[in-house]
A = this chain, B = another copy of it.
């Protein structure tokens, strides 16, 4: 039912190739013809079929963006930034959600592979080797993880965790818990490494709790454990967990920051809205989204996989840029001085 290039050709009395050129190489067609063709196209409501075009050009002008969980407020700003950047370059972004599930993740990238020119893998839960494997099938840029040989854009959560721990040390805390993130998360590993080192350096004791689901529920579920552990401060894998934990502690009668200090990571919009406002490590998610799109587009303008391209003899100089974005500690109201010893309920 929708008009094809042939309908337009018929209507304007030219060959389909002329119609095609009218759209993809206007300078090759006589201005008079051009206006006539355009008029007919307009008339018939013709729009080039991008899928058919992609079949032969090898470029869909789509990019895929795979995230762990759309419902996590961390992702939307990144998604929006990526979409905006892509739109500038005349690309569209297809977003898909994996529910934190590594196998759904793999399925998705395969399903997407042929319909997009490249995929942004955001906070992947797959193994590095699997990522490398899919990257042979479709150009990939990895966000929030480092994998050798692949272009990555990372946020320096290590530095962020260190800053957070030092902030807590400065407030006098010596018994600190780290609420670990989900299994398979690179960010979680980096945080753990950096936090451990920083705590040790400051003569503090760091208890690691996890892995956990990186959600409010995941954080809330740890309240009891945090209380029992006798720590006076907590660094959570992300803001959602931090907020969940604060809720949970509150239900148990522990007050933040009076009894326990809590630091999150991400600086999601929500962290400014809760009471107390959350002290957190801000990550430059929008920048990350834009950068990743740029890298991906750069990547596959370097190595055209065009159908009739004469072999990508460009060699293996895979650009593999890896960029590390700075993070920043934002101190708000969920952290405070260590409570005076001996008056809390832990009895330790």
Interface residues, chain A, with chain B CB atoms under 8 Å away: 1-2, 45, 47, 49-52, 54-55, 60, 62, 70-71, 73, 76-77, 79-80, 83, 92-97, 99, 108, 110-115, 137, 216, 243, 247, 269-270, 273-275, 305, 312
Contact = CB atoms under 8 A, between A and B. Distances in A.
Contacts of A97: 79-80, 83, 95
16 contacts: A2-B113, A2-B137, A47-B110, A47-B114, A50-B114, A51-B60, A51-B115, A70-B79, A71-B80, A80-B97, A92-B108, A92-B111, A94-B94, A216-B269, A216-B273, A243-B273
A156 B77 CA distance: 30
Nearest to A110: B47
A260 B309 CA distance: 67
B96 A50 contact: no
A115 B49 CA distance: 8
Contacts of A111: 50, 92
Contacts of A110: 47
A47 B1 CA distance: 29
A137 B273 CA distance: 43
A66 to B, nearest CB: 11
Nearest to A52: B55
A97 to B, nearest CB: 6
A93 B96 contact: yes
Contacts of A275: 274-275
B77 A71 contact: yes
Contacts of A51: 51, 54-55, 60, 114-115
